[in-house]
Each structure stands twice: as structure tokens, then as C-alpha cells.
């Protein structure tokens, strides 16, 4: 399985409302639950109405489309990172998974994942 490095810094934030989210932006995850509204986006695109934000993330994308019958993709990735003491923030879409780690751990995370058998591109 191959992971692709994302070449931009990311932010995880909490919003009061989605009114300032640029829905035409090229990359963002927006999630509303009964308890909060969260946004993951490039740091340069954080809306001014963010209530809380955690900057300093970098990401990997699992390349290709993952079939829903696949089991353990995130477990393999998170297990390798956990064993190395690297925390993560995971987000999934219909097609694939994204793994975010703090920027200061990004290069080490790539090494750990490569050692665990993942190809690293980008």
C-alpha cells in the first residue's frame, strides 16, 4: 500500500458555524455532529470564526480507492505510529483515508511507515 505526502501544513479547528468556510477550496474536511462543528483544512484557509484551532499538522493520503471490504488499513498505520510514540489524527472519505501527524514528527512518521512496509510518495 502506498501513502502520499501532502505538501502543506494543516489545521484542525472548531467552528461556531460554517458560514466562512470556502466550499470552493481544494482541500478541507467539514464535520458536524450533535456536539460540534469541526474543520480540517490547510492552515492558510482557516476561517476567521474558528473558536479553537490546533495548527502544525502534516498529512499522508492513502493512495487509490479503498474498497469498504478492506480491513485493518488504519489499524496497521496507527499501530506502527503508536509503537513509535507518534500521535495521529485520522480522517476518512468515501474513497480513502488521511493520516495527520504533528509537523515535528512528519519525517520520522514517514520513516516509521516505510519501515512498516508502506510505500511513501511525494
Can you give the CATH number for the domain in which 48 is found?
3.30.2130.10
Structurally, the chain folds into a number of domains equal to 1
The answer to whether 73 and 98 are in contact (CB under 8 A) is: no
Contact status, residue 37 vs residue 18, Cβ threshold 8 Å: yes
* pLDDT at residue number 66: 56
Q: What residues in the chain have per-residue pLDDT under 70?
A: 64-72
| Amino acid 26: pLDDT | 86
Output the pLDDT for position 71. Answer: 55
Range of the domain at 93: 2-121
Q: Return the C-alpha cell found at 42.
A: 490547510
**82-106 CB burial, b ≥16 within 10 A, e <16:** eeeebebeebeeeeebbbbbbeebb
In this prediction, residue 69 carries a pLDDT of 58
pLDDT of residue 13: 97
Q: Under DSSP, is residue 21 helix (H, G, I), strand (E, B) or coil?
A: coil
**Which pLDDT belongs to residue 48?**
94
Amino acid at each position: 500500500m502506498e501513502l502520499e505526502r501532502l505538501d502543506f501544513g494543516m489545521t484542525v479547528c472548531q467552528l461556531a458555524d460554517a458560514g466562512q468556510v470556502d466550499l470552493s477550496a481544494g482541500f478541507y474536511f467539514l464535520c458536524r455532529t450533535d456536539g460540534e462543528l469541526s474543520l480540517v483544512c490547510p492552515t492558510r484557509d482557516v476561517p476567521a470564526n474558528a473558536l479553537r484551532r490546533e495548527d502544525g499538522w502534516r498529512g499522508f493520503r492513502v493512495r487509490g480507492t479503498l474498497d469498504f471490504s478492506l480491513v485493518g488499513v488504519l489499524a496497521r498505520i496507527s499501530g506502527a505510529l503508536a509503537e513509535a510514540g507518534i500521535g495521529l489524527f485520522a480522517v476518512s472519505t468515501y474513497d480513502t483515508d488521511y493520516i495527520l501527524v504533528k509537523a515535528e514528527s512528519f519525517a520520522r512518521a514517514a520513516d516509521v511507515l516505510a519501515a512498516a512496509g508502506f510505500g511513501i510518495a511525494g
